Amino acid sequence: MLNCTRNALAQMVPAGFGRIVTVISDAGRVGEARGLEIYSGAKAGAAGFTRAVARLGGRYGITANSVALGATRTPAIAALTENEEFARKALSGYLIRRFGEPEDAANMITFLASEAAGWITGQTIPVNGGYSLTL
């Protein structure tokens, strides 16, 4: 993420425009325990880095935001999501009782990369089926 952002900024600054969207886990917002403490910290750090990039890039017309995902059905967890017991436990904390789909994330990322999101920067936006709620 650091190297990709640095390389992207090198192109965006001279152009006077750009959109950076990083994808993190909602664990970075809520702090997951049970062996995910370091993972949570790393994702929180990624969100902080993105906020700093937003501060840096704003004067050049560059926005930077993070999308924080809840449990999303990706190839990495596809087999687990088919396990009824795992799914029941995993989804018990979600207001919308289903796993996220890659399209859920893609829709938010597409919006943040668009002109419609031109005045949104430095934010971490949860796409998580109501796992965590924010103001």
> What tokens does 36 get?
């995910």
**Catalytic residue status for 39:** yes
The count of other CB atoms within 10 Å of the CB of residue 103 is 10
Distances (CA, A) of 81 to 33, 105, 127: 20, 17, 18
Give the C-alpha separation, 37 to 33, whole Å.
5
Q: How far apart are the first and last CA of the chain?
A: 27
H/E element holding 70? none
> What tokens does 18 get?
């750009």
Which residue's entry shows tokens 């796993």? 99
Any idea which residues carry the catalytic annotation? 39
